[in-house]
């Protein structure tokens, strides 16, 4: 499980777009084998940090991956901008990444069996014959997770996987991820808005508001003070009443980066 | 130059009046080579939302010919090469510009059309060829064109064999594909280059105005008929090729006497209507 060895080190990572600082000198460490969750208000740069990690946006500073750029990464986006009427089955969706033979010559038995095995792992074997465009938000998420697992990832990157999924669906998805992480021993980094989920499933939290406001274990970081700094007064009031998620006074705050309180 | 007379003698057996004439044999062979290519690439054009890209490349045909004539290069060479350059330029600009992709295409589109017209306005002898580019004429395909088309067809088969799955991956989501170590840029450049060349050959056949229809109508019909991505590939080829052959056969009938390119597109639009009916019967959304 989680070790002290870092899987990812963000070293003074900054992203500027049209003169606006989206990320400003982000310093953070993601422990190997952890479930690290990025939290922060809208526009805090959470998705941008993931995209920088994937090499999709230009950044200054350094992102060090243990295992280098050859590290096997699985990526699950928030949603897929897909033509919903396109004839494209879940079996084909999973076979396109592994099958050498073009899909217009059909799906090989090996690719179909592998697709089914992956779907079984995400409890979605019944979806194999469905069209990708007809899947619900929660079903699509499982299929996208299966596609990411096909990479045998050492690092699994998820952008708000519980967006557009009901509460129960989100909880089951997180439990599934916990199980998979234990058996497959990958490092998981994800963005989430659901603080209840973060408190329950995260092993490490990075609070982001263009800069890192705080980072560490959830019980150390999810304090009223940090959440107020992160989300403003409104959130502070809620957290002051909810002591299960807010345990004041124990946060390890990054010096000099706590300027929004 | 490879001898294609066996191909033309094969075409002469096609049960249609006038097939004993060489230009008809050449037209049929050209269409049977071109139509499956446009149809199958159309599947990817629809998936990638690249109809506007193909339109821009098609519209560069006239500038390609004009530049060829000015520089003293054979238009049959300068046109496809110029189209290829325009296609690759658009891809390059899309990758490295912050502008939205359709704005990039719009700018290049305007530049090539204006460039073509500027050259033509200085040199009136080219102006009379303008009509051929607008409407196309498959009956004027030369034997050399068809040799090139055969080469392009072989490339196309090889490409679809090696790149179909990867392009599907990249078209689904470039970010996922790149994270999962698919060389997206390589396949996208290769696809744009092939598409640009096929579009330029199609301009000879059906003209600038209808070239996008050759790509999109069979693919749109196939989207309604097929249930799988692999099936869509085959349905597009069936719709595209049968429309091309039927369009040629109909257009040369004395009672029709219509332009071949336009007739081909009308037949494929009829296919599309049937596909809408088929999809309605299955209770799916058709448009």
- Total domains, chain A: 2
Last residue of a domain, one of A110, A125, A151: A151
Strand pairing class (A204-209; A211-216): antiparallel
Taking CA atoms, what residue in B is nearest to A104?
A: B230
Q: What are B54's two structure tokens? A: 């193909």
A185 contact partners, CB below 8 Å, separation of at least 6: A1, A33
Would you say residue A254 lies in a domain?
no
Would you say residue A31 lies in a domain?
yes
Would you say residue A253 lies in a domain?
no
Would you say residue A137 lies in a domain?
yes
B176 chain-A contacts, CB cut-off 8 A: 75, 77, 144, 147-148
Name the average pLDDT for chain A: 85
* Band of pLDDT at residue A191, cut at 50, 70 and 90: very high
Note whether A88 and A183 are same-domain residues: no
Contact A112/B at CB under 8 A: no
* Band of pLDDT at residue B73, cut at 50, 70 and 90: confident
Taking CA atoms, what residue in A is nearest to B285?
A: A85
Judged against a pLDDT cut of 90, whether residue A203 lies above it is answered with yes
Would you say residue A44 lies in a domain?
yes
Note whether A67 and A165 are same-domain residues: yes
Would you say residue A258 lies in a domain?
no
Note whether A46 and A107 are same-domain residues: no
Judged against a pLDDT cut of 80, whether residue A248 lies above it is answered with no
Note whether A158 and A68 are same-domain residues: yes
Judged against a pLDDT cut of 60, whether residue A68 lies above it is answered with yes
Last residue of a domain, one of A132, A151, A170: A151
Contact A54 B175 (CB under 8 A): yes
Task: With beta carbons less than 8 A apart as the criterion, state whether A146 and A122 touch.
Answer: yes
**What value does the mean pLDDT take over residues A159-164?**
78
Note whether A178 and A141 are same-domain residues: no
B229 chain-A contacts, CB cut-off 8 A: 86-89, 92, 103-104
Task: With beta carbons less than 8 A apart as the criterion, state whether A205 and A237 touch.
Answer: no
Contact A83 B47 (CB under 8 A): yes
**What value does the mean pLDDT take over residues B198-208?**
87
Last residue of a domain, one of A130, A151, A172: A151
Higher pLDDT, B164 or A78: B164
* Stretch (H or E) spanning B184: helix B184-206
Between A82, A97, A102, which is nearest B169 by CB?
Answer: A97
Task: With beta carbons less than 8 A apart as the criterion, state whether B68 and B75 touch.
Answer: yes
Note whether A53 and A178 are same-domain residues: yes
Note whether A25 and A110 are same-domain residues: no
Write out pLDDT tens, residues A3-50: 678 999 999 999 998 888 999 999 999 999 999 999 999 889 999 999
Between B160, B165, B284, which is nearest A99 by CB?
Answer: B165
Q: What are B122's two structure tokens? A: 């200085």
Higher pLDDT, B65 or B38: B38
Note whether A161 and A235 are same-domain residues: yes
The CA-to-CA distance between both ends of chain B, in Å, stands at 46
Q: How close is the nearest chain A Cα to the Cα of B169, in Å?
A: 7
Contact A104 B168 (CB under 8 A): no
Q: What are B85's two structure tokens? A: 């350059």
Note whether A92 and A147 are same-domain residues: yes
* Band of pLDDT at residue A233, cut at 50, 70 and 90: low
Strand pairing class (A20-31; A35-39): unpaired
* Band of pLDDT at residue A234, cut at 50, 70 and 90: low
Q: What are B10's two structure tokens? A: 């094969």
pLDDT for the residue numbered A79: 83
Q: Which domain holds residue A105?
A: 84-151
CATH number assigned to the domain comprising residue A7: 3.40.50.300
Name the average pLDDT for chain B: 89
Q: Determine the Cα–Cα distance for residues A200 and B78; give it in Å rounded to an integer.
A: 65
**What value does the mean pLDDT take over residues A53-69?**
90
Q: Determine the Cα–Cα distance for residues B194 and B40; give it in Å rounded to an integer.
A: 12
Note whether A182 and A117 are same-domain residues: no
Contact A81/B at CB under 8 A: yes
A101 contact partners, CB below 8 Å, separation of at least 6: A108
Higher pLDDT, A162 or A107: A107
Q: What number of other Cβ atoms are within 10 A of residue A210's Cβ?
A: 21
Judged against a pLDDT cut of 90, whether residue B272 lies above it is answered with yes
Q: Among B178, B188, B104, which Cα is nearest to A56's?
A: B178
pLDDT for the residue numbered A55: 92
DSSP type of residue A55: T
Q: Determine the Cα–Cα distance for residues B24 and B34; give it in Å rounded to an integer.
A: 15
| Polymer length in residues for chain B | 287
pLDDT for the residue numbered B126: 67
Would you say residue A259 lies in a domain?
no
> Could you tell me the pTM of the whole model?
0.88
Q: What are A86's two structure tokens? A: 């396109």
Would you say residue A165 lies in a domain?
yes
Note whether A173 and A222 are same-domain residues: yes
Note whether A39 and A68 are same-domain residues: yes
């Amino acid at each position: 499980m989680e070790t002290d060895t870092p899987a990812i080190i963000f070293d003074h990572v900054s992203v500027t777009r049209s003169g606006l600082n989206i990320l400003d000198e982000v310093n953070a460490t993601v422990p190997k084998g952890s479930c690290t969750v990025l939290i922060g208000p809208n526009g805090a740069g959470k998705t941008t940090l993931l995209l920088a990690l994937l090499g999709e946006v230009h950044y200054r500073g350094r992102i060090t991956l243990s295992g280098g750029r050859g590290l096997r990464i699985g990526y699950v986006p928030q949603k897929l901008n897909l033509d919903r009427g396109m004839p494209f089955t879940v079996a084909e969706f999973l076979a396109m990444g592994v099958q050498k033979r073009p899909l217009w010559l059909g799906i090989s038995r090996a690719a179909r069996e592998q697709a089914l095995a992956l779907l079984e792992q995400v409890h979605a074997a019944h979806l194999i014959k469905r069209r990708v465009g007809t899947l619900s938000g929660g079903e699509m998420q499982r299929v996208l997770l299966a596609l990411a697992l096909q990479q045998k990832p050492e690092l699994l990157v998820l952008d708000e996987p519980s967006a557009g999924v009901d509460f129960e669906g989100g909880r089951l998805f997180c439990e599934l991820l916990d199980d998979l992480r234990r058996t497959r021993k990958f490092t998981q980094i994800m963005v989430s808005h659901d603080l209840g989920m973060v408190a329950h499933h995260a092993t490490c939290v990075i609070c982001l508001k263009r800069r890192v406001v705080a980072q560490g274990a959830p019980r150390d970081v999810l304090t009223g003070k940090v959440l107020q700094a992160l989300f403003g007064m409104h959130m502070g009031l809620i957290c002051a009443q909810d002591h299960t998620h807010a345990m004041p006074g124990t946060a390890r705050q990054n010096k000099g980066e706590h300027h929004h309180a | 130059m490879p001898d294609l007379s066996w191909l033309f003698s094969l075409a002469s057996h096609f049960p249609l009046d006038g097939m004993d004439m060489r230009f008809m044999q050449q037209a049929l062979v050209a269409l049977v080579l071109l139509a499956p290519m446009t149809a199958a690439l159309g599947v990817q054009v629809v998936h990638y939302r690249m109809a506007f890209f193909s339109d821009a490349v098609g519209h560069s045909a006239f500038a390609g010919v004009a530049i060829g004539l000015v520089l003293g290069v054979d238009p049959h060479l300068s046109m496809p090469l110029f189209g290829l350059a325009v296609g690759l330029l658009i891809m390059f600009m899309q990758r490295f510009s912050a502008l939205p992709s359709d704005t990039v295409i719009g700018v290049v589109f305007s530049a090539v059309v204006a460039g073509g017209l500027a050259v033509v306005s200085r040199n009136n002898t080219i102006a009379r060829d303008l009509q051929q580019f607008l409407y196309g004429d498959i009956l004027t395909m030369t034997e050399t064109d068809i040799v090139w088309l055969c080469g392009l067809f072989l490339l196309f088969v090889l490409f679809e064999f090696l790149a179909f799955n990867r392009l599907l991956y990249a078209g689904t989501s470039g970010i996922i594909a790149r994270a999962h170590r698919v060389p997206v840029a390589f396949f996208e450049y290769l696809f744009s280059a092939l598409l640009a060349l096929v579009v330029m050959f199609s301009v000879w056949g059906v003209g600038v105005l209808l070239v996008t229809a050759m790509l999109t109508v069979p693919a749109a019909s196939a989207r309604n008929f097929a249930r799988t991505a692999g099936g869509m590939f085959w349905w597009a080829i069936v719709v595209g090729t049968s429309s091309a052959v039927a369009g040629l056969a109909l257009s040369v009938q004395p009672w029709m006497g219509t332009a071949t390119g336009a007739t081909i597109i009308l037949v494929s639009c009829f296919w599309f209507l049937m596909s809408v009916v088929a999809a309605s019967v299955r209770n799916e959304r058709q448009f």
